[in-house]
Amino acid sequence: MLHLRIIVPSARTEEVVAELTETVGTAHLVVLPGAARDPAGDLVLCDVAREAADELLRRLRELGLAKVGSVSVEDIDLSLSERSEQAQEEAPGAGVDAVLWESMLDSTQEESRLTFTYLTFLTVATMLAACGVLLDSAILIVGAMVVGPELGPLAGVCTALAARAPRLGLRSLAALLVGFPLAMLLTSCFALVMDGWGVFTRAQFEQPHPTVEFVWQPDIMSFVVALLAGVAGMVSLTSAKSAALVGVTISVTTVPAAGHAALALSYGHVTEALGSMLQLGVNLVGILVAGTLTLLVQKVSWAWVRSAVPTRRRRSVE
């Protein structure tokens, strides 16, 4: 269940209350007249089943509440109420499968900006990957995958394509196109400094690295894994399965490929660097294709569910 806190001008309270009352899957409606001060108006509280929330939020936005009031949404971890159970039974579909597009757009917009924090995490992750390649350490490679923040912009592009929000998509794409080259440039500088101090050596780089050589040797399996990771990533985001999301970050060779490419360029191994860049491109494209298709399938399937199951209560005849 989700909890809605709505501030609405007093003149439009009845309209909003009617919308909430008629929506299948709502419960615990509370109206506090004149409780809101900024903006001034009435405070309306309501619980709604997750599977009914997206359509309800869309209609509340159409009523213009984002401009004249506000709508806040919170997750309810526990609700001891038979009315809550009834609301969830009435709502179409299953809550774990529901996609909240407003929430997706908001969260991906926040995580896909080209910020100092994003660039720091991406650069540090790329440097960790370079260390992992040089030491032939699977542990460091996995650590770099987990630290890397690239899944946020990737999800932002997928969500923008599925929701037809080009502005968000361009911002997310900029985070990828600027972030990775900058992180690789800084990692190359880092490698040269480490080499100057004697911490990194050309001999270390040129010796065999059987544990991590997959990083710069892309093949069809790289694309298959990226496709599977894209599906899992989008489903984990829409259902808030954080454990699955961590697994996705460990599955794809994006940051490790960038780290190896930067290291190879610093030592003049252009061919290996190109292989790593190809690996990076294959993984990014695979995730974007699979992630976008997954969101579109979810969008179409939920439209079918809403058309097959009533989402509005019948008005009582007085």
For residue 72, the domain's CATH number is: 3.30.70.120
User: Which of 32, 66, 94 is a domain's end point?
Assistant: 94
The region of weakest confidence among 42-46, 64-68, 129-133 is 64-68
Q: Given a cut of 90, is residue 9 above it in pLDDT?
A: yes
Structure tokens of 143?
A: 């650590």
When pLDDT is averaged across residues 256-269 and rounded to a whole number, the result is 93
Shared domain for 143 and 290, answered yes or no, is: yes
Q: Is residue 312 part of a domain?
A: no
Q: Is residue 309 part of a domain?
A: no
Q: Is residue 45 part of a domain?
A: yes
Looking at the structure of the chain, the number of domains it has is: 2
Predicted structure pTM score: 0.82
* Cα 186 off chain centre by: 26
User: Which of 31, 66, 94 is a domain's end point?
Assistant: 94
Shared domain for 106 and 241, answered yes or no, is: yes
Q: Is residue 253 part of a domain?
A: yes
Q: Is residue 7 part of a domain?
A: yes
From CA 63, how far away is CA 281, in angstroms rounded? 43
Shared domain for 78 and 121, answered yes or no, is: no
Residue 295: is it exposed, middle or buried by C-beta count within 10 angstroms (0-12/13-18/19+)? buried
- Strands (DSSP E) along 147-242, which ranges? none
Shared domain for 183 and 164, answered yes or no, is: yes
Q: Is residue 126 part of a domain?
A: yes
Which of 242 and 291 is assigned the larger pLDDT?
Answer: 291
Shared domain for 87 and 120, answered yes or no, is: no
pLDDT digits (tens, 9 = 90+) for 215-256: 888 889 889 988 988 888 888 777 755 555 566 666 677 999
Name which of 274, 157, 141 is nearest 209 in CA terms: 141
Q: Is residue 316 part of a domain?
A: no
From CA 52, how far away is CA 100, in angstroms rounded? 9
Beta strands at 2-8 and 70-75: parallel, antiparallel or unpaired: antiparallel
User: Which of 94, 119, 147 is a domain's end point?
Assistant: 94
Q: Is residue 44 part of a domain?
A: yes
Shared domain for 142 and 76, answered yes or no, is: no
Going across the sheet that includes 2-8, the strands are 26-37, 40-48, 2-8, 70-75
Shared domain for 156 and 284, answered yes or no, is: yes
- How confident is the model at residue 155, as a pLDDT? 87
Shared domain for 57 and 140, answered yes or no, is: no
Shared domain for 67 and 30, answered yes or no, is: yes
From CA 316, how far away is CA 310, in angstroms rounded? 16
Shared domain for 240 and 133, answered yes or no, is: yes
When pLDDT is averaged across residues 285-292 and rounded to a whole number, the result is 93
Shared domain for 151 and 291, answered yes or no, is: yes
Shared domain for 44 and 125, answered yes or no, is: no
From CA 307, how far away is CA 70, in angstroms rounded? 28
Domain of 132, in residue numbers = 102-304
